[in-house]
A and B are shown apart, each in its own frame.
Chain A
Amino acid sequence: MRYSVYSVLIVFGFVFMEWRGLNLLPTGRRAVVPASMRTSPGGYRSYQSWSSRGFHGGK
C-alpha cells in the first residue's frame, strides 16, 4: 500500500518535472547580466560568458 502511494507520487513527480522543464542535472552556468549591461548598446557583445574557460580543441 505504501509502495503504491510512493509509486503514484513518483509518477506525478515525473509529470511535474516534465511539465515545468525541471532539469535536475547541471548543464551549464546560470548568471544574471547586470541591467546596465543590458541597456547599454552592444553590452551583450562585451559580456564575458564562457570566453575565459571555453572549448579549446577537439583533437
Chain B
Amino acid sequence: MELALIGQLPDLVAADTRLALGQHGKVAQLRFELLGRMQLEQGRASWQEWYVSWSDGSFGWLAEAQGRVILSHRYEQPLRVPPFASWQAGGSYQLPPLGALSVEEVGEARFVSAEGELPFRPQLDRTYRFVDASLQAGGYCTLDYGTVGDDAEVFMGRELSYADAGLSARPAPVNHSGGKLEARAVALDCPSCGAPLKLKTKDAQGVVCPSCRGLCDVTQGKLALIAKLGERTPPRVPLGSRGELDGEQLEVIGFMRRLFTYDSKKYVWGEYLLHGAAGYRWLSESDGHYCLLKPIPAAQVSALSRDEQLMFNGETYKHFQSSGDVSSFDLQGEFYWQIRPEDRSQMDDYVLPPYIVSRELSGKESNWTAGRYLEPSELWRSFKLPGDPPSTQGVAPCQPNPFKLRARSQGLQLIYALTALVLVGVSCVLFLPRRTVLSIPVPVAGPTPITLSDPFTIDGSTRAATIEAIGEPISNAWVGLDVALINDETGRSDEVQLAVSYYSGVDDGESWSEGSPRDSETIGSIPPGRYVLRVETQTETGVSARLPEVVQVRVKHGSFLWFPLFLSLFALCASPLYLLLRSASFERRRWAESDHPPGGGSEDE
C-alpha cells in the first residue's frame, strides 16, 4: 500500500481531550483503537471526533466534547428520514423504527483539522449539516445530511464515561491529588490590552479579559476581540474557587448574570460555569439560593399533560416557570462556547423539590439540565468561602420544604400516638375500678329543702367522682339541686349544681320540648375517706306542672374523664397541624413566584 501526499492541514487546535491516537479502549469485551481524529466546530462551539477501529473488524466514531464521550456506529438499516429543514431543536419526533427522539441540536459543522487515519479525504472548511437527537429508548443518534440534499447517514451512539469506555489511561484535564485541582491552563494575551489570559480549560471558546473587559473568541488557538463589556460586579463565589460537590472536584471558571423582564419587572439571577473531570456543571444563584445543575440528554425527559408536567428518572416534575427572551450580561471568566451579550434564549423550569429540571432553548439548540437545591452553607463550606453565606430571600423554586418533611414524619407518629391513646382510653374505661358509692332519694316537696345522707365510705385511690341526679316524671317544671360532697374527716367540700327539668308545648302549630330529667357533674380528685352528701333543692311549678316526688341522687367513684382525653388529642395534633399550616404557607410563597400562583390561573392566561 502506497501513501500519497494530497495536501496539508492546519495544526490541531488545543483541546480539552484526554485521548490520543493509538489509545485503546474496551467496551463489553470488544476492544477498540483510536485511529484518527477530526476537529469540528459549529458556530460557537467545537468538538472532536475520533475514528475508531473495533476488534470485531468494524469501525465507528467516538465524539468527545465538554467532558462527555459518545461512542457511535453507522446505522446500516434503510431509514426514511425527514427533510433537514423539518427538524427543530427542542422538538420531539417519531422516527420508526428508532422510536421517539428529542432533538437537541440542528446545525452545520465545519471541518477544522485532523490527524491520523480517517475513512475519507478530509477537506478543510468543508461543512455538513447535522441533527443531534437523544432517543427515548436510550442513547443518541446523529443524522448527517452532508452539504446538500435531504439524504442522511444515521449514526447511533451512547454516552459513556471515560472509565466505562476503558479510556482512563491518560490523566484527566484536572486531577485530584490530595483533593486539590491542578488546572492545565493555556496562556494567551488579550488582543485588546495585552494582559495575559490563562484559560482554565482547553476547549474554552469565549473568554472575558478581567483587565479590560474585552470579550474574546478563542479561534484556532488565538484570541479575537469581539466586544468591550461594561463594568463587572464581583460574583459572590469568586472565579477560580474550587470545591467538591456531589463527589466531584469543581472549579468556577465562568459567571454571567441573566435577565428576564416580565410585566415591566426585571428578574435577575446569576449562573456560574463550573468545570471538573466529568465535564461542566452549572450553579445558579438567585436571592441567596443556589442550585447545582448538570446536562442531561433531552430524551430522558418526557412531557406529560399540556406541558405542565414532565417525567424525569421516573418522577413527575411540575412546571414552575417559563421565561422568554432571557439575556446575559456581566459576563466573566471563560465559556465553552462563543458567548455573545446579544444572545437570547427561552428557559423552562420544572420542579420536584429539592430537584429541578430546566430547559434552555436558544436558536437551533435545546439544552436540558437537571439538578438539586444546594444549601448555601454547603456551598460555602465546600468552596471554603469566607464568612457566612448571605441570607436568603423568599422561597426558591426547588428549595425543599422543611415543614413538609417534618409534618409527614410527625403525621406518621401521630397515627401511632392516637392509636396508643385510644387503646389506653379504652383500657381505662374497662379496667380502672368504678362503683356507685351512694344512691339516695331526695324529696322534692318535703318539709325541708335540705337532705343529708348518712356518712358513706369511698375506698381505693383518688379518682374522679360523678354526681348524678334523675328526677322522673317531670313536666313543665324544674328542680334545682345544690349538691355538696363533704369529706367528713377533712372538711373538704366539693359543690356542684344540678338541675332536672322538662318543658314542652306547641307554638304556631309546632311542638317543642327542652330540658332533661337527668343531669350530672364530675368532680376531679376525690380521695378515699368518709363522706356525707348534702343536697338542697329548689323548685318552681306552674299550672300544668308535674313534679317527681323524689330526685334520685347517685355518687359514682372512678369516673372516666373526657377532658384529659380531648386535651391529649389536642396536644398530640397541635404540632403536626402547625407544621401542615407552615408547609402550606411555604408552598404558597414558592408558587406565588411561578406561572401558576395559588388561587389563580396561569399568568400566561
Q: Are A45 and B452 in contact (CB under 8 A)?
A: yes
A59 to chain B: closest residue by CB: B503
- Chain B residues bordering chain A, tally (CB within 8 A): 66
Instruction: Contact check, A55 vs B482: say whether CB atoms are below 8 A apart.
Output: yes
- Which residue on chain A has the smallest CB distance to residue B411? A3
Measured CB to CB, the nearest residue on chain A to B496 is: A28
Interface string of A28-55 (1 = CB under 8 A from B): 1111111100100000110101110011
Using Cβ atoms and an 8 Å threshold, which residues of chain B touch A15? 424, 428
A56 CB to nearest B CB, Å = 7
Query: Does B507 have its Cβ within 8 Å of any Cβ on chain A?
Result: no
Cβ of B4 < 8 Å from any Cβ of A? no
Q: Of B462, B492, B522, B572, which contacts A7 at CB under 8 A?
A: B572
Count of A-B contacts judged by CB separation below 8 Å: 169
Given the interface pairs A45-B450, A59-B501, the reply to whether A11 lies near B421 with Cβ below 8 Å is: yes
Across the interface, do A23 and B420 meet the contact criterion of CB distance under 8 Å? no
Residues of B within 8 A of A14 (CB): 421, 424-425, 564-565, 567-568
Residues on the A chain within 8 Å of B417, using CB: 7-8, 10-11
B484 lies within 8 A of A57 (CB): no
Q: How far is the CA of A10 from the CA of B561 in the complex (A)?
A: 15
Interface assignment of B559: CB less than 8 Å from any CB of chain A:
yes
When chains A and B are docked, how far (Å) is the Cα of A15 from the Cα of B534? 31
Check B413–A4 contact: CB distance below 8 A: yes
Q: Is the CB of B564 within 8 A of A17?
A: yes
Is the pair A3, B432 in contact by a Cβ cutoff of 8 Å? no
- Going nearest first, the 4 A-B pairs with the smallest beta carbon separation are A55-B480, A23-B524, A58-B501, A21-B464
Residues on B lying within 8 angstroms of A by beta carbon are 409-410, 413-414, 416-417, 420-421, 424-425, 428, 432, 448, 450, 452, 461-465, 476-478, 480-482, 484, 486, 488, 490-499, 501, 503, 514-515, 521-526, 532, 534, 536, 538, 540, 558-561, 563-565, 567-568, 571-572, 575
Apart from A11-B568, A45-B452, list 10 A-B contacts with CB within 8 A.
A10-B417, A15-B428, A20-B461, A28-B497, A30-B495, A32-B490, A45-B448, A47-B486, A55-B497, A56-B480
What are 24 A-B residue pairs whose CB atoms fall within 8 Å in the complex?
A3-B410, A3-B413, A11-B420, A11-B421, A13-B568, A14-B424, A14-B565, A17-B564, A21-B561, A22-B564, A24-B567, A38-B488, A44-B452, A45-B448, A45-B450, A45-B452, A47-B486, A49-B484, A50-B495, A50-B536, A54-B536, A58-B515, A59-B514, A59-B515
